[in-house]
Amino acid sequence: METIVADVISIIEEGRRKAINAVNRNMVEAYWLTGKRIAEEELQGQERAEYGKAMIKTLSKALTTKYGNGYSPAALYSFRQFYSTYPEDEIFYTVCRKLSWSHNRLIMRVENPKARDYYLQEAAEQGWAVRTLERNINSFYYERLLTSKDKKAAIKHSNTLEKQRTEDFIKDPYVFEFLNIPQPINASEKDIESALIENLQQFLLELGKGFSFVGRQYRISTELEHFYIDLVFYNYLLKSFVLIDLKVGKLTHQDIGQMDMYRRLFDDLKKPEGDNPTVGIILCTEKSETVVKYSVINDNNQIFATKYMLYLPSEDELIAEIEREKLRLLEGKKGQF
C-alpha cells in the first residue's frame, strides 16, 4: 500500500510540475506576442511618442478592466522591450521560452549584448534559479570569465571537453559575499574554509560548471610524510581533480611551490588512468603580479593564482578590478612577442 501511495504522489507531482512549466511557457509567449503587437502598432503610428503613450495607456486600461492587475503601462513597456530585445522567432522559441518571465525580465535589462546572450544561454542550459541569475548578473559573472587567458573560448557554451580549456573555468576575482563575513575582515584561512563548506551549494555555483565536492583537508601521504590540501573538487567537464589552497594575505613563491608539489603528488598517487592532469588554484586576498610572472604559474596552464573577495564590492569597484585583470593579461600577451 505504501508503494502505490508513493508512486501516485510522484505521478501527480510530476504532472503538476509539467502543468506549471506549460503555463509558464505560454505566459512568456503571450508577453512576447503582446510586445510584438505593440511594436507593430507603434510602427503604424510612425513611432510618434504621443501616439505610443496614448496607445499604451488605452491598452493598459482595457486589459486591467478585463484581467485585473499585471497590465500596467510599465508592464506593457516591459513586454515591448522583451520583443525588441529578442525579435527573432528562433531565439525566442528555442531559448527565451524555456525560462520564466522573471528570468527574461532580468536578462533583457543587461546592457551588454554579449553578456545578455551569455546569461540567456547559461540560465537555460544550467537551470539557474532566479536568485542565482540575479546574483551572477550583479557580480559581473560574465565579465569575470573574460579575464581568463582565452577570452573567446570563455564565452562558448558547449560542454564537450574538446572545446573547453582549463583557463576558461577560472574566474578572477571570485566573490564570496554569501559568507556574510563582516568588515573589517579578520577571519583566518580556517574560518573561511569552514564558512565555504557550510555554504557549499553557493560556493559550487560561484566556482562554475562541472564542479563536485570531494573533500576538505584532504590527506595525501608518501612513505615519510602526510600532506593536507584545503579543498579538493572534481570537474567532470575537464575530467580532472581541482585542488584549492586558501591564503589570507599576499601570494608568495612558497604558496606556489607548495601547490605545485600538491598537484604533482595528486597526479602520482590519486589521478585515475585516463583523467587529465590535476589543476591547482591558489585563492588569495592579494595577488603579486611579479610573483606570478616569475614563477611556475607563468609556464604552467594547470596552476592558477586568483583573487577572492569576501564581500560584493560596488559596481565601480568590481568593474575596476576586472579592467585591471584584463590589462594585466593584455600586457602579458604583449610581452610574449
pLDDT digits over 137-164, tens only?
988 888 887 765 444 544 454 444 344 6
Residue at 205 is within a domain:
yes
Share of the chain above pLDDT 70, in %: 82
Q: Are residues 38 and 157 in the same domain?
A: no
Greater pLDDT, 103 or 312: 103
pLDDT at 144: 84
Q: Are residues 193 and 273 in the same domain?
A: yes
Q: Is the pLDDT assigned to residue 47 strictly greater than 60?
A: no
* pLDDT tier, 334 (very low <50, low <70, confident <90, very high otherwise): low
Residue at 201 is within a domain:
yes
Mean of per-residue pLDDT scores for the chain: 82
- Mean pLDDT score, 96-119: 92
Q: Are residues 291 and 147 in the same domain?
A: yes
Residue 230: all three cell numbers together: 584545503
pLDDT at 18: 72
The DSSP symbol for 295 reads S
CB atoms < 10 A from the CB of 1, how many?
A: 5
Runs of H (alpha helix) within the chain = 2-44, 49-67, 73-85, 89-94, 101-107, 113-126, 130-138, 141-145, 151-154, 189-198, 200-207, 253-269, 289-293, 315-334
pLDDT at 328: 66
Residue at 107 is within a domain:
no
Question: 36 is in which domain, residue-wise?
Answer: 2-85
Distance CA 246, CA 310 (A): 12
Last residue of a domain, one of 85, 114, 130: 85
Q: Is the pLDDT assigned to residue 13 strictly greater than 90?
A: no
Number of domains in the chain: 2
Residue at 109 is within a domain:
no
Residue at 96 is within a domain:
no
pLDDT at 203: 93
Q: Is the pLDDT assigned to residue 46 strictly greater than 70?
A: no
Residue at 248 is within a domain:
yes
